[in-house]
């Protein structure tokens, strides 16, 4: 079966690749076993020198790799280059902190000596999405390799060139013994890889159905899984907020990556007392965005990644309006491009109220007070992140305690950062990436007990 790289801005097929057959997959997994012996035997300093070199390679090639991202999935070029640079910072972070995060932890017991040792698990399969084709991979791979594991990547089928470029970055950085391998395989071949005894665990970033499938296969074979799934993040604005800052950030938080981000703000909940003003400013700011060729740095919004995604967002908006939602702006499609859109007065049964909208479409709601805002924020099967805008300390504490998400950002948009854990609650998945918790997801936590003689 062919795996195609198609430019979403033009519809042009750039390159096609044949999916690996069973023999090629077996050979890759055999190489991963040998690579594990190599990487596990390295000290932290040796792994760190390679990881720092990976950061340097990313920075040296940032324009070239950024352009590749844009051509394959349509991200505006400035954001694509910034994504590559962020990957470099993640490599440096784990090069600097992995040793302290995984150092032996001594515990006082009745024994002469007791400590906890963190050891690599082995070969980890990463099933990754197209929307942040470099960042999603590097935020897993940098800590995994620094812990002494090896990785095999099944990337989204529409970004095969990005997948191969990532393998090349690690190889050129000195991880040249197959410590990181890209497997150009189909979704149907993933089960076979998870089931293979040489694969010890799997991590997936993607949709709910994909997560449920991968987690069930991993459970069947008694293997650990980490899932980062969808989100329908609330963006809450209270009367004490700086409205200028809130509106400017609301637009940025909604249209990041052309609106195709799990942690993009999607449901905007404004207190009744300022909702009218918020809506007016928000709509004006969304209408001011420039939509067009993602390789043109003056444009703010590029195409959606595939025709199917454009079909889905078009249907969600159409069905929401049919259900009674008010279209304040947008709602127009040209090819794979979709105009920045704002919906208000949305009935509870409308798709825009219940489903994740993966495109530049914002749903605006009104809340009577703090309790109502928290209730509306939690009225979703997802629980990835939340952004809350208030300058009242008591309100901050109530939102922090009351919102059911993996992260709450106060007076800032939700973002991932190597220094803090990232992950969701409810249907947004389980497990954590980044920070100390991320690097400890794929290690064997071994208790060592040395008795008194």
Single out the catalytic residue among 91, 167, 262, 441.
262
**How far is 340 from 337, CA to CA, in rounded Å?**
10
Q: Is 441 part of any domain?
A: yes
Neighbours of 324 (CB within 10 A): 11
- Look up the CATH number of the domain holding residue 173: 3.40.605.10
What pLDDT does 326 receive?
98
* CB distance 137 to 128 below 8 Å: yes
Is residue 237 located within the same domain as residue 224? Answer: no
Is residue 98 located within the same domain as residue 159? Answer: yes
Q: Is 389 part of any domain?
A: yes
Strand partners of residue 75 = none
Q: Whole-model pTM? A: 0.97
Is residue 442 located within the same domain as residue 376? Answer: no
Q: Is 423 part of any domain?
A: no
Nearest to 409 by CA among 267, 243, 281, 263: 263
**How far is 450 from 63, CA to CA, in rounded Å?**
54
Angle at 438 between CA 401 and CA 221, to 5 degrees: 105
* CB distance 335 to 303 below 8 Å: yes
- Told to judge if 228 belongs to the known catalytic residues of this protein, a careful annotator would answer yes
User: What are the average pLDDT values for consecutive 10-residue runs of the chain, which has 453 residues?
Assistant: 92 97 98 98 98 98 98 98 98 98 98 98 98 98 98 98 98 98 97 98 97 98 97 98 98 98 97 98 98 98 98 98 98 98 97 96 98 98 98 98 98 98 98 98 98 92
* CB distance 199 to 228 below 8 Å: no
Is residue 116 located within the same domain as residue 96? Answer: yes
Q: How many residues does the chain have?
A: 453
Cα of 261 vs its chain's centroid, Å: 7
Q: What is the 3-state secondary structure (H, E, C) of 301-342?
A: ECCCCCHHHHHHHHHHHHHHHHCCCEEEECCCEECCEECCEE
Alpha helical stretches, state H, 154-242: 160-172, 190-195, 208-220
Nearest to 333 by CA among 300, 297, 303: 303
Is residue 113 located within the same domain as residue 24? Answer: yes
**How far is 447 from 125, CA to CA, in rounded Å?**
26
* CB distance 413 to 253 below 8 Å: yes
* CB distance 127 to 203 below 8 Å: yes
Tokens of 270: 């404004």
The structural domain count of the chain equals: 2
Helices (H) and strands (E) in the chain, counts: 15, 22
Q: Is 87 part of any domain?
A: yes
Neighbours of 331 (CB within 10 A): 18
Is residue 34 located within the same domain as residue 180? Answer: yes
Q: Is 422 part of any domain?
A: no
Nearest to 190 by CA among 106, 125, 143: 125
Q: Is 7 part of any domain?
A: yes
Nearest to 154 by CA among 177, 173, 133, 169: 133
* CB distance 312 to 358 below 8 Å: yes
Is residue 20 located within the same domain as residue 158? Answer: yes
- Look up the CATH number of the domain holding residue 395: 3.40.309.10
What pLDDT does 453 receive?
84
Nearest to 72 by CA among 136, 10, 141: 10
> Domain range for residue 385?
233-417
* CB distance 234 to 370 below 8 Å: no
In sign, the C-alpha dihedral spanning 92, 444, 193, 306 is negative
Query: What is the H or E stretch that residue 268 is in?
Result: strand 265-271
Single out the catalytic residue among 228, 314, 356, 395.
228
Is residue 127 located within the same domain as residue 95? Answer: yes
Burial class of residue 293 (count of CB atoms within 10 Å of its CB; 0-12, 13-18, 19+): middle
Alpha helical stretches, state H, 221-326: 243-255, 272-287, 307-322
**How far is 282 from 267, CA to CA, in rounded Å?**
13
Q: Which residues contact 445 (CB under 8 A, 6 or more apart)?
A: 116, 118
Q: Is 158 part of any domain?
A: yes
Is residue 256 located within the same domain as residue 385? Answer: yes
Is residue 67 located within the same domain as residue 132? Answer: yes
Q: Is 111 part of any domain?
A: yes
How many angstroms separate the Cα of 383 from the Cα of each of 62, 216, 380, 422? 33, 21, 7, 12
Is residue 178 located within the same domain as residue 243? Answer: no
Is residue 394 located within the same domain as residue 307? Answer: yes
Say what angle helices 160-172 and 135-146 make with each other, to 10 degrees.
30
- Told to judge if 262 belongs to the known catalytic residues of this protein, a careful annotator would answer yes
Return the residue matching tokens 């190489």.
31
């Amino acid at each position: 079966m062919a795996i195609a790289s198609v430019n979403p801005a033009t519809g042009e097929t750039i390159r096609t690749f044949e999916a690996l057959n069973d023999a090629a997959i077996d050979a890759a997994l055999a190489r991963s076993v040998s690579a594990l012996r190599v990487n596990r035997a390295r000290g932290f300093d040796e792994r760190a020198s390679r990881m720092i070199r990976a950061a340097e390679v990313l920075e040296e090639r940032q324009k070239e790799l950024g352009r590749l991202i844009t051509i394959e999935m349509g991200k505006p070029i400035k954001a694509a280059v910034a994504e590559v640079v962020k990957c470099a910072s993640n490599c440096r972070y784990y090069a600097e902190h992995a040793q302290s995060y995984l150092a032996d932890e001594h515990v006082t017991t009745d024994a002469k000596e007791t400590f906890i040792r963190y050891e690599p698990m082995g070969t980890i399969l990463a099933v990754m999405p197209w929307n942040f084709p470099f960042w999603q991979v590097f935020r897993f791979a940098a800590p995994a390799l620094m812990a002494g594991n090896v990785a095999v990547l099944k990337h989204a089928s529409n970004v095969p060139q990005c997948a191969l470029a990532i393998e090349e970055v690690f190889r050129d950085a000195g991880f040249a013994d197959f410590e990181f391998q890209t497997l150009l395989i189909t979704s149907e071949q993933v089960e076979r890889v998870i089931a293979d005894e040489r694969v010890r665990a799997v991590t997936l970033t993607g949709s709910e159905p994909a997560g449920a499938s991968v987690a069930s296969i991993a459970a069947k074979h008694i293997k650990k899984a980490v899932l980062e799934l969808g989100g329908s993040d609330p963006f809450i604005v209270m009367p004490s907020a700086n409205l200028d800052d809130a509106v400017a950030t609301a637009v940025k938080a909604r249209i990041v990556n052309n609106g195709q981000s799990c942690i993009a703000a999607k449901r905007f909940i404004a207190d009744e007392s300022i909702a009218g003003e918020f809506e007016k400013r928000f709509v004006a700011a969304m209408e001011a965005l420039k939509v067009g060729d993602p390789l043109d740095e003056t444009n703010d919004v590029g195409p959606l990644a595939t025709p199917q995604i454009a079909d889905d967002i078009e249907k969600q908006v159409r069905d929401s309006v049919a259900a009674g939602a008010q279209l304040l702006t947008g709602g127009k499609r040209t090819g794979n491009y979709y105009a920045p859109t704002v919906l208000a007065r949305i009935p509870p049964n409308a798709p825009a109220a219940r489903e994740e909208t993966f495109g530049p479409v914002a749903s605006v709601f009104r809340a009577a007070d703090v309790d109502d805002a928290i209730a509306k924020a939690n009225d979703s099967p997802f629980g990835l992140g939340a952004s809350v805008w208030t300058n009242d300390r008591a309100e901050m504490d109530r939102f922090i305690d009351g919102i059911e998400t993996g992260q709450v950002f106060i007076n800032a948009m939700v973002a991932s950062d190597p220094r803090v854990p990232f992950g969701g609650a409810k249907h947004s998945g389980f497990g954590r990436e980044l920070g100390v918790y991320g690097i400890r997801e794929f290690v064997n936590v071994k208790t060592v007990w040395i008795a008194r003689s």
